[in-house]
Amino acid sequence: MKKITLILLFVIPAFAISKAQSCLSSGIFFTSQQEIDDFSANYPGCIEIEGNVDINDSSEGNITNLNGLSQLTSLGGYLKIIDNNSLLNLSGLDNIETISGELRIGKWGDGNNSLNSLTGLESLTSIGGNLAIYNNPQLENMTGLNAVSSVGDNFWAWNNNNLINFNGLDALTSIGIDIGFGQNPNLVNLNGLESLTTLGAILYIKNNALLENFSGLDNLNSIGFYIFIYNNGTLSSLDGLENVTSLGGRLEISNNSSLADISGIQNIDASTIDQNGTDLIIVGNPMLSVCEYQSICDVVNDPNKITNIHDNLSGCDSETEIETACSAIPIEMLYFNAKKTKEIINLTWSTASEINNKGWNIQRSNNGQSFETIAWIGGSGNSRDIMEYEYKDAKPNEGLNIYRLEQVDFDGKTSYSKHKSIYIEGTTKRLFPNPANNHIFLDGSKNGQIKIKTINGTTVLETYFNENQAIDISRLKQGMYNLLLIEDSKVENFRFIKSK
């Protein structure tokens, strides 16, 4: 009998420990700082919440931090952080790696008035549902989401008064459904989304008063449904969309009062601009006079396509005007390629025909916005033969090199090729010595902010440093730490050991 009793005493605690790893299948609703602080005591060993998590301050200023949630590693439902007006950042969520449902930070009418950073989510790699950022008036970028590589559903950002760009989403490669950005009055560009290659459904950009172009979407190549660009008052070009080659629906560009250049969409295959209804809408862009790009020409000239084009500047004010301009396109480009061989970048391109072509300015940029001319290659004037061209850039910039061809007619008119990007590796950042006792150094970094955290995610040191400056770690306890380097809105992680 004693033997049986001993076996039962052994089995029951083991079962309890196993069950303690996950909890709260019905979810949990936090309304006060005390509830957050008491979480680890109330749910010891719970690292995976199976249900939904709501953080909604009912005391108007009571919730100031989320440190009491630092034991969590994953959420089986959604995470909603809404109406927390004293919350500055999301530190305390540092160990969450996956959210199976939606991550919603703010909603229509109820945001987080003091939230100025998403730091604290650095371990998060995937979001199964929506990523929704609404009504956070102090938030400037997405720093803190640096490890997120995929969003299963939609990415929405609306009514964030100080949002400038999306820096911090460097690892994001795919969004399952839509991008919807609207009513962000200080959004200047879409930088931070450079790794994004596929969008499942809709690109929806509306009412962003200072948005200048689509820089940041330079590597996006396919959009599953349609593009909707509406009422962005400062938008002057569609630069950044050059690599998009296919849609699955309508292309609509309407009521953008400063838009003068839509060459960014010239590489879209016209056969993929195909909506059950109107396929192409270009309406109410009073500065737009040039629309004779191949994608637009092919749609306008297709009798099976339905178009709606009016109230633009002369030259792009009707289907007839575009048809006339399309009949005189000077260059039929076959390809434009860029390839790196050692430290030389070889640019090659070919044309099937040329009309009145004086030649090309070879232009280079490190951001896709400001280009410099680095060379001139003469054209073939008028030709119906296939012509091949080449240029070798022997002195590319360290880092990102973005190339385009500015084609120049004999009468001075210009047009632009799609962009090609090549990255040249620079100095590799290095933390040393490792292990270390009193000081560490960061080689390859000029200056920035650092945060040193324990493996459990607790911040133990936060400071700024300059190039070659020693970082004092003498007061840290022996053990392993993560150092987060925040430099130019980008976050890099280094792990080191503090010795005795």
List CB contacts of 428: < 8 A, sequence separation 6 or more. Answer: 444
366: pLDDT strictly greater than 90? no
Q: Which of 326, 356, 379 is the last residue of a domain?
A: 326
pLDDT grade for 4, boundaries at 50, 70 and 90: very low
400: pLDDT strictly greater than 80? no
Same-domain status, 179 and 293: yes
pLDDT score, position 101:
97
Mean pLDDT over 343-354 rounds to: 90
Q: How many helices (H) and strands (E) does the chain have?
A: 5, 35
Which spans in 301-383 are helix H? Answer: 319-326
In a domain, residue 381? The reply is yes
Q: Which of 292, 326, 360 is the last residue of a domain?
A: 326
pLDDT score, position 425:
63
Same-domain status, 231 and 121: yes
Helix (H), strand (E) at residue 340:
strand 331-341
440: pLDDT strictly greater than 90? no
Where in the sequence is the domain holding 284, given as residue range(s)? 72-326
- Report d(CA 288, CA 301) in Å as an integer: 20
Same-domain status, 104 and 194: yes
Domain total for the chain?
3
For residue 232, give the CATH number of its domain.
3.80.10
Same-domain status, 106 and 176: yes
pLDDT score, position 223:
96
Q: What angle do CA 257, 262, 265 make, to 5 degrees?
A: 140
Same-domain status, 138 and 194: yes
pLDDT grade for 428, boundaries at 50, 70 and 90: low
Sheet with 447-454: list strands edge to edge. Answer: 459-466, 447-454, 479-487, 490-498
Same-domain status, 91 and 222: yes
- Report d(CA 326, CA 330) in Å as an integer: 9
Same-domain status, 112 and 192: yes
- Report d(CA 147, CA 452) in Å as an integer: 17
For residue 370, give the CATH number of its domain.
2.60.40.10
In a domain, residue 92? The reply is yes
